[in-house]
Amino acid sequence: MTDDAGRSLILRGFNTASSAKSALDGMPDFTEADLEREHAEMGTNFVRFLISWRSVEPEPGRYSQDYLELVEERVGWYAERGYKVMLDMHQDVYSGAIDSHGAGGNGAGALGNGAPAWATYTDGLPVLDMPRWELLYLNPGVIRAYDNFWNTTGRHPELAEHYALAWQAVAERFEDNDAVIAYDLMNEPFGGSVQGPAFEAGPLASLYQRVTDAIREVDQDSWVCLAPQAIGVNQGLPSGLTRIEDPRTGRPRIAYCPHLYPLTSELGSGYEGVARTLTDATVETWQADTVRTAEELGDVPIILGEFGLDTTTPGAREYIDRVYAAAREIGAGVAYWSSDPGTWGPYLPDGSPTLLVDAMDRAYPRAVAGTPVAWSTGPRRLELTFHPDPAVTAPTEIYLPSDEFPGDVDVTGATVVRWDRVSRLLTVQAPGGTETVSVTVVPEGD
Ligand code: 9MR
């Protein structure tokens, strides 16, 4: 993905936040001060910000500008700090109206989140609570709610149309907002009674096409991000998602944004022993399958929209490093799940850091004036190779964490434009007329 100056973006950040799912106003429990701390301590430049259909369209055909205003206010916090934002139309288990009493719930006993109550049709089929939230998907009432959404039942063709127009209302609001660069059309899609490639190449691809068309009526420039079916693909199985057309003029702006949750870590195993071998195999197949699907979709950019684990599990730090390396190798952006306080996140509820803060605070190029070929970070070292784009005049930006780069820096391969020790940003200009530039940054004197 590129910014307005044409630079390739390397995106690193969080999902913010799970707490938005059940909040009355749909906002995450996350303040501007929280963002300030995240920015200062981890140098992130990206957020996958959770929004929901129920908040965008609380009643059929009425789009809540009050809600979008609250979203815009938070986007403003990110914009002020130079972040890029991907809005994620989140859902789990379809809707907050899914509760163990069927579809009539008021959200108090909600088992899911996402769709509005008025768009939830379980047709009286049973929904039982489950020992793990993912198993809620197997409830007959939940499967039916999805079948009605995808119109597999033939009874609710209006729901997909509503969904597309709800997205159009969001895109209309953010179309001229420079910070919002991407729309993640649906979190972790689930096909109800149609699963696998039949779902992905069928109802899912049709919905994606319809939503993309609706977005493009009002927004030509934002990237449209497509997620595969979650179950299976998140655990490393191949996706059967098929290409959709981007009606914008110019090059398509479609991206692929799968998640990664190896079964081993989901079931609580540490990243050690046999579980580590299995996790490594999962990450490798996930990586290869992700690249294959991105090619299938038109050689599109990739964002790892979610990965995460309980940071207190043995080997958590190594697993996190492993996933960042995998993302780096395929040039993917990353949004960690999630910034919510707790052992999965960077901070505990009392504000003390988990190991994630140190794991996230790594050197990385943020914006590259051309096409990145490879980059790597060693201890106290960053290397970046790219093909400069002569049409891009803005400099290349590199983030350098303070623990590894406390003072001045030595740069080879490019000219330093600026090194700002407060923002931790190094900007460099590639020499003119070169086909490939290799930049190395180390602390002065190393
Ligand atoms: O971490 C979240 C957990 O607390 C919730 O109970 C659950 C259901 O809403 O969702 C979890 O977050 C998931 C996210 O919504 C989708 N991808 C997987 C995340 C981790 O399980």
Decide if 109 is inside a domain.
yes
Burial class (CB within 10 angstroms; exposed 0-12, middle 13-18, buried 19+) of 123: middle
Helix 65-80 crosses helix 157-174 at what angle (to 10 degrees)?
Answer: 40
Three-state SS across the chain? CECCCCCEECCEEEEECHHHCCCCCCCCCCCHHHHHHHHHHHCCCEEEEEECHHHHCCECCECCHHHHHHHHHHHHHHHHCCCEEEEEECCECCECCCECCECCCCCCCECCECECHHHCCCCCCCCCCCCCHHHHHHCHHHHHHHHHHCCCCCCCHHHHHHHHHHHHHHHHHHCCCCCEEEEECCCCCCCCCCCCHHHHHHHHHHHHHHHHHHHHCCCCCCEEEECCCCCCCCCCCCCCCCCCCCCCCCCCCEEECCECCCHHHHCCCCCCHHHHHHHHHHHHHHHHHHHHHHHHCCCCCEEEEEECCCCCCCCHHHHHHHHHHHHHHCCCEEEECCCCCCCCCCECCCCCECCHHHHHCCCEEEEECEEEEEEEEECCEEEEEEEECCCCCCCEEEECCCCCCCCCEEEECCEEEEEECCCCEEEEECCCCCCCEEEEEEECCC
Q: How far is the CA of 195 from the centre of ligand 1 (A)?
A: 21
The answer to whether residues 276 and 404 belong to one domain is no
Return the pLDDT at 231. 97
Q: Which two tokens stand for residue 244?
A: 């959709």
- For a mutational test of ligand 1's pocket, the pick from 50, 88, 133, 139, i.e. the residue with the most ligand atoms closer than 8 A to its C-beta, is 133
pLDDT digits (tens, 9 = 90+) for 66-87: 999 999 999 999 999 999 999 9
- Residue of 337, 339, 340, 344 to mutate, ligand 1, most atoms within 8 A of C-beta: 337
> Do residues 345 and 407 both lie within one domain?
no
Last residue of a domain, one of 361, 389, 419: 361
* Claim to verify: residue 293 and residue 398 sit in the same structural domain: no
Best residue among 14, 19, 48, 92 to mutate for probing ligand 1's pocket (most ligand atoms within 8 Å of CB) is 92
What are the Cα distances from residue 94, in Å, to 51, 229, 240, 315, 432? Answer: 14, 14, 21, 33, 53
Span from the CA of 18 to the centroid of ligand 1 (angstroms): 7
Would you say residue 396 lies in a domain? yes
Residue 181 Cα distances to 170, 254, 393, angstroms: 13, 11, 20
Does some domain include residue 77? Answer: yes
pLDDT value at residue 60 = 98
Q: How far apart are CA 351 and CA 252, in angstroms?
A: 42
Whether 379 and 300 map to the same domain: the answer is no
345/405 same-domain check: no
CATH code for the domain of 54: 3.20.20.80
Check pocket membership of 34 for ligand 1, CB cut-off 6 A. no
Q: Is 4 a member of any domain? A: no
Residue 366 forms part of a structural domain: no
pTM of the shown model = 0.98
Count of domains observed in the chain: 2
Residues 100 and 171 in one domain: yes
Q: Specify the pLDDT at position 167.
A: 99
Atom of ligand 1 nearest to the CA of 306: 17
Q: Is the CB of 306 under 6 A from ligand 1?
A: yes
Q: Domain ends where: 297, 331, 361? A: 361
Residues 117, 240, single domain; the answer is yes
Are 295 and 427 found together in one domain?
Answer: no
Ligand 1 atom 9 nearest Cα: 92
CA of 112 to the centre of ligand 1 (A): 10
From 312, 339, 361, the end of a domain falls on 361
User: What separation in Å is there between the alpha carbon of 193 and the centre of ligand 1?
Assistant: 22
Residues 377 and 341 reside in one and the same domain: no
- b/e burial code for range 368-405 (CB count within 10 A of at least 16 → b): bbbebeebebeebebbbbbbbbeebeebbbbbbbeebb
The reply to whether ligand 1 has any atom less than 6 angstroms from the CB of 406 is no
pLDDT of residue 432: 83
Distance 4 CA to ligand 1 centre (A): 33
Model pLDDT, residue 108: 61
Per-residue model confidence (pLDDT) at position 102:
59
**Domain residue limits at 265:** 10-361
88 lines ligand 1 (CB under 6 A): no
CA of 5 to the centre of ligand 1 (A): 35
Atom 14, ligand 1: which residue's CA is nearest? 92
Q: How wide is the angle at C-alpha 402 spanned by C-alphas 417 and 368, nearest 5°?
A: 40
Looking at ligand 1, which residue's alpha carbon is closest to its atom 1? Answer: 18
153 and 249 both lie in a single domain: yes
For residue 3, is it within any domain? no
pLDDT reported for residue 408: 96
- Residue 107: per-residue pLDDT: 56
Q: Find the CATH number of the domain harbouring 400.
A: 2.60.40.1180
Give how far Cα 244 sits from Cα of 98, 226, 357, 434, Å.
31, 10, 38, 36
Tell me: do 21 and 126 sit in the same domain. Answer: yes
- In a domain, residue 214? The reply is yes
CB of 184 within 6 A of ligand 1: the answer is: no
Q: pLDDT tens for residues 118-160? A: 999 999 999 999 999 999 999 999 999 999 999 999 999 999 9
Looking at this protein, which amino acid is placed at residue 407? G
Regarding whether 64 and 88 lie in a shared domain, the answer is: yes
**Mean pLDDT by groups of 10 residues along the chain of 446 residues:** 95 98 96 98 98 98 98 98 98 94 62 97 95 95 98 98 99 98 98 98 98 98 98 97 97 98 94 98 98 98 98 98 98 98 98 98 97 95 97 97 96 97 95 92 94
pLDDT on residue 100:
79
16 lines ligand 1 (CB under 6 A): no
| Closest CA to ligand 1's atom 3 | 18
Say if CB 418 and CB 411 are below 8 A apart.
no
d(CA 324, CA 364): 11
CA of 96 to the centre of ligand 1 (A): 13
- Is residue 262 included in any domain, yes or no? yes
